Amino acid sequence: MADRPYRVLVTGSRDWDDERLVRRELARVWNDVRNPIIIVHGACPRGADRHAAQWVRDWPATGLGGVTEEAHPANWSLNGKRAGFIRNAQMVNLGADVCLAFIKNGSRGASHTAALAEQAGIPVRRWTA
């Protein structure tokens, strides 16, 4: 067993609508790792972040345990238009074992997060639509 939970950074477009894909890939990570995992996301109420958060909420029904959530909402009132980019950098700087990037229509925010993760040496798995 690992000394610490496996950190999964989820980034994605606000209009990412393929919830089944997000859920399938999170389950795949769980199946591959079989240790406690933390799902890290940007707490957007739509898109990939919402799908990841819902997967975490639904997880207890499996009876397996070992999944927690770490949400990082952007502080729009403090940081204005740059809030999302600042939040993305903060999430990457906290570290992750893998980044799952669900990018639709070339989403700048999700693409930015994936690029930062790669620069930080975090393996990135990308899906585009």
Q: What pTM was estimated for this model as a whole?
A: 0.95
Residue carrying structure tokens 């700087």? 93
Q: Which domains does the chain have, with CATH numbers?
A: 6-128 (3.40.50)
Tokens of 118: 């790669």
Q: Is residue 114 within 8 Å of residue 124, measured between CB atoms?
A: yes
Residues 30, 35, 39: CA angle, nearest 5 degrees: 55
Q: Are 30 and 62 in contact (CB under 8 A)?
A: no
List per-residue pLDDT tens for the chain, 129 residues long: 457 899 999 999 999 999 999 999 999 999 999 889 999 999 999 999 999 999 999 998 888 889 999 999 999 999 999 999 999 999 999 999 999 999 999 999 999 999 999 999 999 999 999
Give, in order, the Cα–Cα distances in Å from 15 to each of 4, 55, 59, 77, 119.
32, 17, 23, 22, 25
